[in-house]
Amino acid sequence: QVQLVESGGGLVQAGGSLRLSCAASGTIFSISAMRWYRQAPGKQRELVANIVSGGSTNYLDSVKGRFTISRDNGKNTVYLQMNSLKPEDTAVYYCNAIINHGSAYWGQGTQVTVSS
């Protein structure tokens, strides 16, 4: 049994910062990738950032230079550091992980709201 638990969302003013966390627990022997998605009201879900087992990262163009994804292998946890936040970053953020030879798992979602 594997689960992903997210934390760190909230309300912040434009220009502020937040750090999201996503911890995987259960019977885990490998994690090949951990990702952050987001979905704003009335819009499709989009991939924000990705980190693979070797440490390589990829980002949505609109967040490059502002967001940083990182991983703590000992805790099976992925983080998303979000700086210089903008109102257009407002969305529900979802953690996703590929675990144990390709099984996909999702976190419960955490709300990020950026006011102007």
27 Cα distance to chain centroid: 21
Average pLDDT (9-28) is 97
- Of 110, 77, 89, which is closest to residue 46 (Cα–Cα)? 89
Q: What percent helix, strand, coil does the chain show, rounded to 5?
A: 10, 60, 35
Is the pLDDT at 1 greater than 90? The verdict is: no
Average pLDDT (105-116) is 97
Rounded Cα distance between 89 and 73, Å, is 27
Contact residues for 39 (Cβ-Cβ < 8 A; gap 6+) = 45, 46, 91, 92, 94
Question: pLDDT tens, 82-108?
Answer: 999 999 999 999 999 999 989 999 999
Per the CB < 8 A criterion, the answer to whether 25 and 95 are in contact is: no
Question: pLDDT tens, 27-81?
Answer: 999 999 999 999 999 999 999 999 998 999 999 999 999 999 999 999 999 999 9
Where residue 79 falls (left for φ over 0; alpha for ψ -120 to 50; beta otherwise) is: beta
Q: Would you state the pLDDT for residue 57?
A: 98
Q: Would you state the pLDDT for residue 61?
A: 98
